[in-house]
Amino acid sequence: MVDQKIRQLIVSTLNQTVRLLQKNDYLGLKELSDKIIQDVSTMQERHAVRVAVVVYSLSKIVQRTIERNQSISINMGTQLAHAAEFMQQDDEKRFDLEMKRIFKQISQRDEKLLMYVQHVTEKANIVKGSKLYSAGISLGTAAKILGTNQWDLMSFVGKTRIADEEGDIRDVKKRLAFARKLFKVS
């Protein structure tokens, strides 16, 4: 049984995704993806996390397709609407199945896009992981929630400004003094 707040969040997100996809609005999808990750940070609910990854992946796919002047034909509106319906009914089993179909469709839609989409999906997991990390969740936990590799996540986080924004420079002198004592460095 999924918590009502989470159910409402997922249903609303999926319905908004359908509308944004109809308009090929990748910026809207990206904003929606960023918004749901804020909620996922506190809820850490696996269905919500998967929806966040789907929305982010779709935003990148639409964006790249537009940039390459290719025609967009992402016919996922029906599946997304079905997933929303099943979540509204609190039918986790059918929701799970529909989400699997959506992920499968994203992956198998176009052979040329397959590896790209897999890459985007993996990247999406890492980006989302870094957002969870920046919100205070440990690297290991963030990696576990998103099903991503802890080392890839750590490597990605290192290249962001997360540590700089936190600005923790306390006790630098003390740490070095202790380390010098420990390693007998005069």
Partner 1 sequence: MEALQVNREINKGVLTIVHDDKIHALKEELTKLANNCFYAHNTPITIVHAGEMAVLATAIIRNSDAVVIDERTTRELIEDPESIAELMKRKMHTKIKTNKEHLRKLKQTLGNMKVIRSIEMGVMGYELGWFEKYLTQDSDARKTLIEAILWGIKMRGASISQREIDRIVKMAK
For partner 1, the binding residues (CB under 8 A) are 5, 38, 41-44, 133-141, 143-144, 151, 153-159, 162-164, 166-169, 172-173, 175-176, 178-180, 182-183, 185
- Based on CB atoms, which residue is closest to partner 1, 27 or 179? 179
Q: Decide: 129 and 145 in contact? Cβ < 8 Å.
A: yes
Q: Tell me how far, at minimum, the Cβ of 40 lies from partner 1, in Å.
A: 10
The residues near 137 (Cβ < 8 Å, ≥ 6 apart) are 41, 44, 145
- Based on CB atoms, which residue is closest to partner 1, 9 or 117? 9
Please give the DSSP secondary-structure letter assigned to residue 160: S
What's the CA gap between 27 and 30, in Å, rounded? Answer: 5
Residue with tokens 């993996």: 122
Q: Tell me how far, at minimum, the Cβ of 57 lies from partner 1, in Å.
A: 23
Q: Tell me how far, at minimum, the Cβ of 94 lies from partner 1, in Å.
A: 25
Q: Decide: 126 and 162 in contact? Cβ < 8 Å.
A: no
Q: Tell me how far, at minimum, the Cβ of 173 lies from partner 1, in Å.
A: 7
